[in-house]
């Protein structure tokens, strides 16, 4: 059995019902919009985010979910989908999960408007049901994601990122959405409880480990979703590179910065950078930090009684580290 199917097992029924509710939450009187949202729904990914919502809700409540849990999962998926549609426009990307992106098929103007529509549908779903606590959680995530992206753009121009700034960027850019999923799950069944902030921390730690794993793929030779060296070509500062820059001689540091800034389209030079980072302990250090985040997340889970939901969340934490793409 595939790991994802195994993780999903304790919430399989909830996920099936969620898919129906999610599709309904997207509907519109505009035929063009319905055509596009239908296209989106039929090309869904692994749906890790709603899974987090349901697994956390069931773990903290002893196996219960309610309508708020379904709304929380729908809101997070609507908002996440909106950010992906907008990201593809920003990155001028024509593919998403192996299919054409919305902007590739319907052009940028329509893609931006569809993203706006999904965002507002998510917000209204919370407002119409007085889920103001859930709305706050998701709104904080959207704000932080935008700030994280802009902070990364600002820092990439100068390549002067410290490790602390890097953690700030990935905490906002990637981890905040997973943190929102986990705190939404807890808040849907136990509003105003300690579990809401504890599960937020748990999700944040998984998100940090997830992003570092993504960084490591840039240096790997295994077949993955993106070609190696792509982060270097895009002048993205990742943890292996940041560690290396901060731990080599001034001469090597200058060569590295010059390579990333001025020779990032030169395939040979990019290969040299990859080898240099590997030889100077950049990968080992990043793996160590990734495992630190993983272990901290697992420790939080140990504070809950044993259950199939806790087992699934443990599997999820380990899958984030061990996945091949």
pLDDT digits (tens, 9 = 90+) for 52-80: 999 999 999 989 999 999 999 999 988 88
Among 120-124, 144-148, 199-203, the range with the most confident prediction by mean pLDDT is 199-203
Residue 290: how many CB atoms within 10 A of its CB?
21
Q: What is the pTM of this model?
A: 0.88
pLDDT digits (tens, 9 = 90+) for 194-243: 999 999 999 999 999 999 998 888 887 554 445 567 777 777 788 999 99
Residue 129: how many CB atoms within 10 A of its CB?
14
Burial annotation 35-54 (CB, 10 A radius, 16+ → b, else e): ebbeebeeeeeebbbbbbbb
């Amino acid at each position: 059995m595939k790991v994802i199917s195994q993780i999903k097992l304790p919430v399989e029924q909830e996920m099936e019902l969620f898919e129906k509710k999610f599709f309904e939450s997207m509907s519109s009187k505009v035929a063009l919009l319905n055509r596009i949202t239908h296209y989106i729904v039929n090309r869904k990914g692994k749906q890790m985010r709603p899974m987090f919502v349901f697994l956390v809700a069931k773990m903290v409540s002893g196996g219960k979910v309610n309508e708020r849990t379904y709304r929380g999962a729908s809101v997070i998926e609507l908002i996440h989908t909106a950010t992906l549609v907008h990201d593809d426009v920003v990155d001028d990307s024509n593919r998403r999960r192996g299919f054409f992106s919305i902007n590739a098929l319907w052009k940028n103007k329509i893609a931006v408007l569809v993203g706006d529509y999904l965002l507002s549908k998510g917000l209204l779903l919370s407002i119409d049901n007085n889920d103001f606590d859930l709305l706050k959680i998701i709104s904080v995530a959207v704000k932080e994601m935008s700030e994280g992206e802009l902070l990364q753009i600002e820092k990439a121009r100068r390549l002067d990122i410290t490790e602390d700034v890097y953690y700030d960027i990935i905490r906002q850019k990637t981890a905040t959405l997973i943190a929102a999923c986990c705190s939404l799950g807890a808040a849907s069944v136990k509003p105003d409880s300690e579990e809401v902030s504890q599960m937020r921390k748990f999700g944040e730690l998984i998100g940090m480990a997830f992003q570092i794993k993504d960084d490591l793929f840039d240096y790997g030779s295994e077949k993955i979703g993106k070609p190696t060296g792509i982060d270097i070509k895009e002048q993205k500062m990742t943890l292996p590179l940041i560690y290396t820059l901060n731990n080599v001689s001034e001469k090597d540091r200058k060569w590295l910065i010059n390579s990333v800034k001025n020779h990032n389209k030169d395939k040979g030079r990019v290969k040299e950078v990859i080898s240099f980072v590997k030889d100077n302990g950049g990968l080992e250090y990043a793996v160590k930090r990734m495992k630190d985040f993983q272990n901290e997340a697992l420790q939080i889970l140990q504070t809950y009684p044993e259950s199939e939901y806790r087992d699934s969340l443990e599997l999820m934490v380990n899958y984030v580290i061990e996945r091949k793409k």
